[in-house]
Chain A
Amino acid sequence: QSALTQPASVSGSPGQSITISCTGASSDVGGYYYVSWYQQHPGKAPKLMIYDVSKRPSGVSNRFSGSKSGNTASLTISGLQAQDEADYYCSSYRSSEAVFGTGTKVTVL
């Protein structure tokens, strides 16, 4: 059950845009539109930010957007704000299971 690959950390200044990648294989990210993204602040439960590759749940800022190309999915945060500083995880369907990414720590400089 190998995890999807994410960069360990990404940083940006307030107002900038950053992109987090999530690399898998044709058996997971590349083969399905079941890619989702979660934000997690320290000591809190994860929060759904994006599902089905690019859909935003009600209440999530339109500064968050998702996309996919081949076996790599991406989460872009535009207009970076202090409250965006958190850990971010991607997730995908794979053979009747779900698999998470390794996680990315986003730092707002």
Chain B
Amino acid sequence: QVQLVQSGAEVKKPGASVKVSCKASGYTFTGYYIHWVRQAPGQGLEWVGRINPNSGGTNYAQKFQGRVTMTRDTSISSASMELTRLTSDDTAVYYCSRDGGRIGNSGWYTDYWGQGTLVTVSS
């Protein structure tokens, strides 16, 4: 069965960076985009970006351009998202999720989600 397991909660100071990982299993990792979505406390969902695990190609939301980097390690079927220059506004649960369509036929929707990683930014 498809599973996405994320790394544990993080507490960071303003100005620092955070890296969240997402280990996939139960399917061909290089066959589907991985998306990253975040949710601030009591707020809605916000798309951060996606990575093509086969090529490493990325699409980032304009809001995060220059501050986010998504990478993957195909040898361990894992994707990561690093966010730099953190502020309190970055306090949120960060989710990884799998695109519902195979690469080349992306549907811009996601069918499997990780459990979420809480990132807290506080001085």
Chain A positions within 8 Å of B, measured between CB atoms, are 1, 3, 32, 34, 36, 38, 40, 45-48, 51-52, 57, 89, 91-93, 96-103
Contacts and interface: CB of A to CB of B under 8 A. Distances in A.
Nearest to A98: B47
Interface of B: 35, 37, 44-47, 50, 59, 61-63, 95, 97, 100, 107-111, 113-116
Contact of A96 (B44, B59, B115): B59
A108 B98 CA distance: 30
Contacts of B47: 91, 97-100
Given A1-B63, A48-B100, A57 B111 contact: yes
A100 B44 contact: yes
Nearest to B50: A98
5 contacts: A45-B95, A46-B95, A51-B109, A93-B108, A97-B61
A32 to B, nearest CB: 8
Given A1-B62, A97-B61, A97-B62, A48 B44 contact: no
